[in-house]
Structure 1
């Protein structure tokens, strides 16, 4: 039974830049740079037939390439911080791609995602890290300066059940229409 999700890959040069933010935070388990990604829709553990249906349905998505920008570092978990993330700035193209995938997944019969979509790249998972330490880390490194991200495709990833952070396997790729085709 595969565990699937759709997402955007992070190019190696950008992943290396983001990986320079590692360190200086007790209780952080840093994600390996090769496992950085932007999740579009977590699907979960499903049977092979449903996985094939999802893969086929995603192939019918028709969207244009687009660019994304990072908007800074943040933490998730208000009562107890559980991760450090690089946030993605609001993007209509990204929101529309994610919403279309959400509709596809629901049409196939899976339940809707219960959480509000917040695009990000998880850099670290936290365990018993005090709020103050997280605040200090973000104050020192919060002015994230990273190149933008050009999105030319999305992918269907699989992962093994684990405590998070990969390894992730690209099962299928779905190219987006090039700018020149989309303009014509």
Structure 2
């Protein structure tokens, strides 16, 4: 049976084109100066993963899209602050370079609801683990310290991303980088939220 590699994400290409790309270029220059080999993520691939489904049978896609549509009717658009530059597992033994995304309650509630609905339908096999939203922009070929390379950009603000839709993507490997093809762009059409009284996560 034919499968597709699927994930849900927020598209982050357009909002960051002016605020982050100049910094992205500076970090690339710093990496070259320090002879740190990095596989840079093309800007058209910039995204914030919400849930990764992995390889799913093509026959499952209609059910997956129905779950997404259903959950999107319960949530209204929201925004997320974009700030900080960091590394996994840490700055001294870095494998992945990331841009920080606000861990807002609205995003967490959406993800939890989506994962639980998919799980109930037998469509989600991943672990329910703590969610750390981020945008990966580089992967090191060998672990290195990147503290000096990224320190000028720590705790820097890059504005906000307006989240008005969730996208179901298919990932296919073509050449050196995966190609992300949107299969469904689902708008958030839920009622406008009341002013939140509790502090954000």
Band the TM-score falls in, shorter-chain normalisation: 0.7 to 0.9
- Of 116-125 and 9-18, deviating more is 9-18
Question: 5, 9, 14: which one pairs with 2:16?
Answer: 14
- Which stretches in structure 2 are left out of the alignment for 5+ residues? 195-201
For the pair shown, which has the larger CA radius of gyration, 1 or 2? Answer: 2
Q: Judging changes above 3 Å, is the alpha-carbon distance between structure 1 residues 146 and 163 closer, same or farther for their aligned structure 2 residues?
A: farther
Question: 102, 109, 113: which one pairs with 1:100?
Answer: 113
Aligned to 2:126: 112
Aligned to 1:83: 96
Q: CA deviation at 1:43?
A: 0.4
TM-score (norm 2): 0.80
Answer yes or no: is the 8 Å Cα contact 1:87–1:119 preserved in 2: yes
Which of the two has greater strand per residue? 2
Number of equivalences: 180
- Output the aligned Cα RMSD: 2.3
Structure-1 separation of matches of 2:40 and 2:18? 13
Q: CA deviation at 1:182?
A: 1.9
- Of 106-115 and 119-128, deviating more is 106-115
Q: CA deviation at 1:16?
A: 4.8
Q: Judging changes above 3 Å, is the alpha-carbon distance between structure 1 residues 163 and 126 closer, same or farther for their aligned structure 2 residues?
A: farther
Aligned to 2:55: 45
Q: Judging changes above 3 Å, is the alpha-carbon distance between structure 1 residues 19 and 113 closer, same or farther for their aligned structure 2 residues?
A: farther
Q: Judging changes above 3 Å, is the alpha-carbon distance between structure 1 residues 173 and 164 closer, same or farther for their aligned structure 2 residues?
A: farther
Structure-1 separation of matches of 2:70 and 2:114? 10
Superposed, 1:21-170 pairs within 5 Å as 21-22=24-25, 23=28, 24-25=30-31, 26-61=36-71, 62-78=74-90, 80-109=93-122, 110-113=124-127, 115-131=129-145, 134-161=146-173, 166-170=178-182
